[in-house]
């Protein structure tokens, strides 16, 4: 999902306070863009220059009251909804009521200290992430488009506007996984339901859900419609929309709907990343960075099933005299050797090759579309590379066994690995630091 800096405006008449807050915020929230002001008038000037995601102000400022500043912030069209935190050591009931009436979002008790204040800001921004994302906006009315574009962009959203469903589908095609602009994908789609042209908003929804197969969590869609009848509104949901906003657009309602859908997308992205991390943890050897044996046995079978009449080769590499190394220099040195050998193997193989830790000091490599002669050459390259590596400043050699379905076309994975293991035994018995097939 697209990211942006969290822009925070801190207003405090004390230079010492500003310095301490700035230092702690830089440590705790390095991604935040911080602006410091010493007076209300200076803050007003900054508010004219850009939009902020959060404003904090001391209750007592050199030139005005913090609540008066809050009222001015609320009167500013660009900051009508910006959260304002007032910092005070004397927030009694009367002050609280007056402050909330003035538009204060929350209070912080400054007697808790600067570190607690920064933690408060950090927690607040995490609970209220604001509007962050990239929007595909489809609207054929120039007047409506100008107004909505200005509103969305002012609140920090990146918006790509188009006037037809056909153009929107083309943009989605480019931004879909595997497309030329997949890294700059959209977070949500906003579309008018009744578009001019051959395709309507309903057709666009059908393409999003059926052609691109985006789920409602993966690509939320907000429909803008003039439909007032319940039947038509229900039709919008049946077409695949997550939600709708009725025209003419009310700013607060539109922003609330967009924020809700962006949260859905953020949660989907976070869960997807978490699932990928869990998958990698479950299938990767934590020490060496290569795949683990469980993954090899499960996925390796697919190599042979999907060989398409092309040979598959297996290499088994065993580090020579590894037990002696462990006994002489300790297990930490042994771990470093395994880690560096694993990194070299990962870096040396071509795309589509499977590298896994097969045992304690043993590695397996599956090479698709690889004849025996080529596999032997690749094994020799890896053997020489490891000998030149000098992991943990030690001369390390490996023995390598090679097998290929070229010589045993009916072999399953376990049989192929068994053949490579026999070849590895021969390499060990005939002097080590060599390749045998």
Q: Catalytic residue numbers?
A: 361
Question: CB within 8 A of 51, min separation 6: which ones?
Answer: 7, 78, 79, 82, 154, 155, 156
Please check whether residue 400 is in contact with residue 315, taking contact to mean a CB–CB distance below 8 angstroms: yes
Residue count of the chain, please give it: 437
Please check whether residue 117 is in contact with residue 110, taking contact to mean a CB–CB distance below 8 angstroms: yes
C-alpha angle with apex 214: 210 to 218, nearest 5 degrees?
160
Determine the angle formed by the axes of helices 93-102 and 66-75, rounding to 10 degrees: 20
- Give the integer Cα–Cα distance in Å for 57 and 337: 56
First-to-last C-alpha distance (Å) of the chain = 49
Got the DSSP string for 305-373?
A: HT-TT---EEEEEEETTHHHHHHHH-HHHHHHHHHHHHHHHHHHSPTT-EEEE-SSSEEEEEESS--HH
DSSP assigned state of 53: S
What does DSSP say about strands 84-88 and 134-138: parallel, antiparallel, or unpaired?
unpaired
- Identify the H or E element spanning 124: helix 114-127
- Give the integer Cα–Cα distance in Å for 122 and 192: 37
Q: What tokens appear for 18 in the block?
A: 């500003």
């Amino acid at each position: 999902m697209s990211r942006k800096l969290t822009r925070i405006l801190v207003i405090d008449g004390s230079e010492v306070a500003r310095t301490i807050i700035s230092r702690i915020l830089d440590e705790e929230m390095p991604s935040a863009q911080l602006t410091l002001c010493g007076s209300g008038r200076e803050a007003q000037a900054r508010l004219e220059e850009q939009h902020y995601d959060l404003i904090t102000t001391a209750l007592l400022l050199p030139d005005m009251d913090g609540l008066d500043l809050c009222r001015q912030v609320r009167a500013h069209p660009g900051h009508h909804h910006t959260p304002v935190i007032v910092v005070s050591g004397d927030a009694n009931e009367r002050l609280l009521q007056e402050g909330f009436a003035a538009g204060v979002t929350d209070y912080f008790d400054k007697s808790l200290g600067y570190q607690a204040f920064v933690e408060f800001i950090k927690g607040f921004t995490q609970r209220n992430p604001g509007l962050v994302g990239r929007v595909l906006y489809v609207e054929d009315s120039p007047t409506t488009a100008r107004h909505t574009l200005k509103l969305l962009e002012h609140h920090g959203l990146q918006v790509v506007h188009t006037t037809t469903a056909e153009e929107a589908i083309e943009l989605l095609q480019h931004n879909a996984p595997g497309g030329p602009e997949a890294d700059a994908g959209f977070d949500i789609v906003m579309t008018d339901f009744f578009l001019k042209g051959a395709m309507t908003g309903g057709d666009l929804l059908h393409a999003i859900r059926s052609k691109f197969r985006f789920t409602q969590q993966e690509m939320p869609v907000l429909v803008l419609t003039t439909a007032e009848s319940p039947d038509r509104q229900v039709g919008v949901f049946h077409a695949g929309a997550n939600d709708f906003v009725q025209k003419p657009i009310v700013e607060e309602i539109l922003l609330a709907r967009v924020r809700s859908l962006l949260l859905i997308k953020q949660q989907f992205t976070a869960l997807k990343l978490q699932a990928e991390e869990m998958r990698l943890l479950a299938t990767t050897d934590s020490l060496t960075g290569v795949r683990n044996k469980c993954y090899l046995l499960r996925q390796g079978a697919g190599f042979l099933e999907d060989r398409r009449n092309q040979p598959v080769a297996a290499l088994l590499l065993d580090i020579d005299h590894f037990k002696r190394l462990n006994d002489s220099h300790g297990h930490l040195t042994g771990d470093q050797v395994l880690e560096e050998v694993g990194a070299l193997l990962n870096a040396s193989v071509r795309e589509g090759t499977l590298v896994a830790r097969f045992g304690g000091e043993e590695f397996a490599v599956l090479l698709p579309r690889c004849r025996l002669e080529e596999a032997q050459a690749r094994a020799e390259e890896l053997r020489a590379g490891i000998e030149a590596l000098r992991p943990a400043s030690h001369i390390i050699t490996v023995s390598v066994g090679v097998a290929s379905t070229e010589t045993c076309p009916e072999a399953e994975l376990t049989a192929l690995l068994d053949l490579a293991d026999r070849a590895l035994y021969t390499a060990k018995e005939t002097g080590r630091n060599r390749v045998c097939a």
